[in-house]
Amino acid sequence: MSIKMLSTNTVGEKLRNLREEQKLPLRKVAALLDIDVAILSKMERGERKITKEIVLKLANIYKYNADELLVSFLSDKILYEIQDEALGIEALKLAEERVKYMKGGDGE
């Protein structure tokens, strides 16, 4: 599995770019998701939280690597929680070590 590890785009921006690359109108994608156009627009702009379920549905609609989109989604969630914390980076490092320990070694 190859996942791009460094991206400054949010998951919303990535999803908007995928939609635009495929020339799909916002209203069509919103209809496929059974959500309001305004809600999808806000998700793409980062003004409304995206759910894991929506990310997976959009990966399917766009025929895009779901793992890559989920990594971006999770990264956004983590960033949102720690971005204003002075000790955010230290907490992130500790969390990484804990995840590795819980998974039995190297985290994979």
23-71 residue pLDDT tens? 999 999 999 999 999 999 999 999 999 999 999 999 999 999 999 999 9
Q: What is the CATH number of domain 11-102?
A: 1.10.260.40
Answer whether 13's CB lies under 8 Å from 6's CB: no
Burial 19-48, CB ≥16 within 10 A → b, else e: beeeeeeeeebbeebeeeeeebbebbeeee
Average pLDDT, the chain: 90
- Per DSSP, 106 falls in state S
Q: Which residue has the higher pLDDT, 80 or 23?
A: 23
| Structural domain spans, the chain | 11-102
